[in-house]
A and B are shown apart, each in its own frame.
Chain A
Amino acid sequence: MNKNIIITIAVKDMKAVFSSKKVWVPMIIVALIICIAVPSCIAFFGLQFDLIGTSTQEIEKPINAFIKDFPNEEMRNTLAAFPTLTYKFVYFFLTFMMIPFFLMVAIINSMVTSSNSFVGEKERNTLETLLFAPISIKDLFLGKVLASLIPTLGISFAAFIVSFIMVNIITYPYFEVILYFNSTWMILMFWVIPILVLFNIILNVLISAKVKTFQEAQQFGGLLVLPIVGIIISQASGMFFLSPLTLFLIGVVLLIANLALLKLVTKFNNRNALFQSQIH
C-alpha cells in the first residue's frame, strides 16, 4: 500500500468534485434542504404558529393511539407529557423521524461521488493511463474510496452541526431539552453513518469498476436508497424503532459487510481483468 499515491488520487478526485459546481452544489443543496431546512421549518412553523394544534381534533385520536402503542417507554412518556399535539408532533419528528433523513443524505451524497469513480475515469479515457502507471489496483481503489468518503462525511457532519444549532435555538424555549444530544443521535452520526457511507462507497466503487457507463453505475447505486426508504416507512408507522441498541447493531452488521466487501476488493486486485473489462 502506497499512502502517497492513495492521497494523490483522492486529492485529485476531491478537487474534481469541488471544481464542478454541477457536482458539489446539488450535494450541498440536498443536505441543506433535508437536514437543515426541513427540521428547522417544522420546528419553527410548527411551534410558532401551532399549525397542527388548531384544527386537528379529528386526527388527535389516532395520534394519541399511536403514542400509546409506541414501543419505547421513555419516548412514550415524554410524548404523553407534552401539552399539545403540535409539541408531540414536532418533538417526535425531530428526535425520531429525522434519523432516516440523515441516513438518506449520506447515502445520496456518497453515491454521487463514488458511482463516478472508475466509470468517470473510463469515460474521460484516463483509466487506461492510470492502469499503465506503476500503481496497484488496491491503491487506486482506496484513493477512490477516500475521495468519496471525505466530502460525504464532511457534508453530513456539517449539516448535523448546523441543524443541531438551528433546531435547538428554535425548540429550546418550548421543550427545554437539547435535541439531537443523546446516545441515539451520537451513535447515528459517529458510528452508523460513517460505516454506512463507507459500505455504500465501497459497493458503488466496485459497481463503478464493473459497469460500462456512468448511467449504469447510477442505476445500480440507486438501489441502495431502498433500505433507507424502508426505514422511513417503518419509523413513520411505528413498526420498528431505531433505539441506540438497534442503531449500534445496524452499525455492527454494516461493519461486517464492509469487511466482506474489502475482501472482495482484494480479489478484484487484478489489473488484467479490470483492463480487459473496461478498456477497449
Chain B
Amino acid sequence: MTNIIEVDRVSKKFNDTVILKDISFTIKEGSINGLLGPNGAGKTTIIRLLNGVIEATTGIMKVMSFDPKIQGDEIRERVGIVTESASLYHDMTAWENLVFFSKVYGEFDPKRITDLLQQFDMLAFKDQLVGSFSTGMKKRISLAKSLLHHPKLLFLDEPTNGLDPEGINEVIHYLRKVNQEEGVTILICSHVLHQLETICDSYLFLNKGRIFEKGTKKQLEEKYLKNVDLVVETGLNPLHSCSYKGYTYSRKGPGQLEFKLSSKEEITPLLSHILNESWVHNCEITNRSLEALYFQIRGGKDIE
C-alpha cells in the first residue's frame, strides 16, 4: 500500500500560540485511520492544513503527492470532508443541497445523488428541508455530500458528535461501507475513543499539538499491554480469597471474578482449571480497549 498522506515535521502557530509542534505521520491508501485526542489537541487544524485552507508555519506535507500550500485546489477536488457541524443549507431540501454541492464540485450527476441518497437510506426524505432533519439524518446527508465527487480521501471531523448510539452505529456502518465499496481512504478525528475501536485500521494519538503515539491496535497492544485483566463469569468459588491456582483474582460481582494475568498465554490453562471445577459463561479481556490503551499510553508518556 502506498502512502496517500505524508506529513513531515509540521508545525503551526497562530500569532504566538503553538497549535501543532513537529508532527510527522503517514496514512496508507485504502485504510481507515483515527486521529484521536482531547478537545483542543489540534485535530481539526491537521485536517485544515491537509486541505490547504490554512498554511503550516514549518514542515512538509504531501496529500496524494500534492503540496497543500500551493496545490490546494487539486487536493480539494479529490477530497471529501465532513466538518463538525453538518454544514448544510437548512432552508433547502436534501436534494437541493446535494445538487448545489455537486455543481460546486463540477460533478453534477443526478444518478450519483440518487445512488448516494439510497446508500445512506435518505431517498425517501430527499424533498424535505434539511432544517427539519434530526442530527443523524443531517450527518448522513453531509456524508453523501462529501462523496458526491468520488473522492479518494475522506476527512471526518467528529462525525459522531451529537448522535445517539443508534446514529453512531449507522455512521460507523456507512463509513465501513464507503471504505470497502468505493476504496476511499478515511481519516476520522474524534475524542470519543470507543466509538472508533471497531472501524479503524490504525491510530494517531494527539495531545497539545503533538503526536505522542501511533500504530495499529495490535502494535499498540504489543507495546503497552503488559498484563491481562480477564473478567470471567463463572460459578467458581475459590477457597483462597485472592488467589486461585497461583492466579491473582478479585471478585467483581456475583459470579464474576477478575484475574490478573501476566500474558494472554495464561488464559487457556486458567480456563481449563476453572472448567474442571465449574461452569464458565463468559470471559473478557477488559484492559485492551482503545480507551484503556490510550490511558496506559498517556500514563507512561510525558505528553506535555
- Listed in ascending order, the chain A residues whose CB lies under 8 Å from chain B are 2, 4-5, 8-9, 12, 15-16, 19-20, 124-126, 128-136, 271-272, 275-276
- Given known pairs A5-B104, A134-B73, the reply for A19 and B91 (CB within 8 Å) is yes
CB<8 Å pairs between A and B, sample of 30: A4-B103, A4-B106, A5-B103, A5-B104, A5-B106, A8-B103, A12-B89, A12-B92, A16-B91, A19-B91, A125-B85, A125-B87, A126-B89, A128-B83, A129-B81, A129-B83, A129-B145, A130-B104, A131-B53, A132-B51, A132-B53, A133-B76, A134-B74, A134-B76, A134-B106, A135-B104, A136-B73, A271-B52, A272-B54, A272-B55
B14 at the interface (CB under 8 A from A): yes
Residue on B nearest A2 in the bound complex, by CB: B106
Q: Which residue of A lies closest to B47 (CB)?
A: A132
Contact A276 B54 (CB under 8 A): yes
A19 to B73, CA, bound (A): 32
Contact A128/B89 with A12-B100, A272-B54, A276-B54 known, Cβ cut-off 8 Å: no
A129 to chain B, nearest CB (A): 4
| A128 and B76 form a contact (CB under 8 A) | no
Residues on the B chain within 8 Å of A16, using CB: 89, 91-92
Contact call A8/B53, Cβ cutoff below 8 A? no
Q: How large is the interface on B (under 10, 10 to 19, 20 to 34, 35 or more residues)?
A: 20 to 34
Q: Residues 70-90 of chain B: 1 if any A CB is under 8 Å from the residue's CB, otherwise 0?
A: 001110110001010111111
Complex alpha-carbon distance, A9 and B76, angstroms: 18
List the interface of chain B (C-beta within 8 A of A): 14, 48, 51-55, 72-74, 76-77, 81, 83, 85-92, 100-101, 103-106, 145
Residues of chain B within 8 A of A132, CB atoms compared: 51, 53, 76, 81, 83
Output the least CB separation between B93 and chain A (Å): 11
Q: Which of A124, A126, A131 has the most CB of B within 10 A?
A: A126
Q: Across the interface, do B87 and A126 meet the contact criterion of CB distance under 8 Å?
A: yes
Is the CB–CB distance between B73 and A275 below 8 Å?
Answer: no
Are B53 and A272 in contact (CB-based, < 8 A)? Answer: yes
List chain B residues, Cβ under 8 A from A128: 83, 85, 87
Find the A residue at minimum CB distance from B83.
A128
Report how far A142 CA is from B101 CA in the complex, Å.
17
A9 to B99, CA, bound (A): 12
Q: B14 — nearest CB in chain A belongs to which residue?
A: A276
Chain A nearest CB, measured from B152 CB (Å): 14
Contact assessment for B105 and A124 in the assembled complex, using a CB-CB cutoff below 8 Å: no
Taking a contact as CB atoms under 8 Å apart, the answer to whether B91 and A133 are in contact is: no
15 other A-B residue contacts (CB within 8 Å) besides A19-B91, A272-B54, A275-B48:
A2-B106, A5-B103, A5-B106, A8-B100, A15-B92, A124-B90, A125-B83, A125-B86, A126-B89, A129-B81, A271-B72, A272-B55, A275-B53, A276-B14, A276-B54
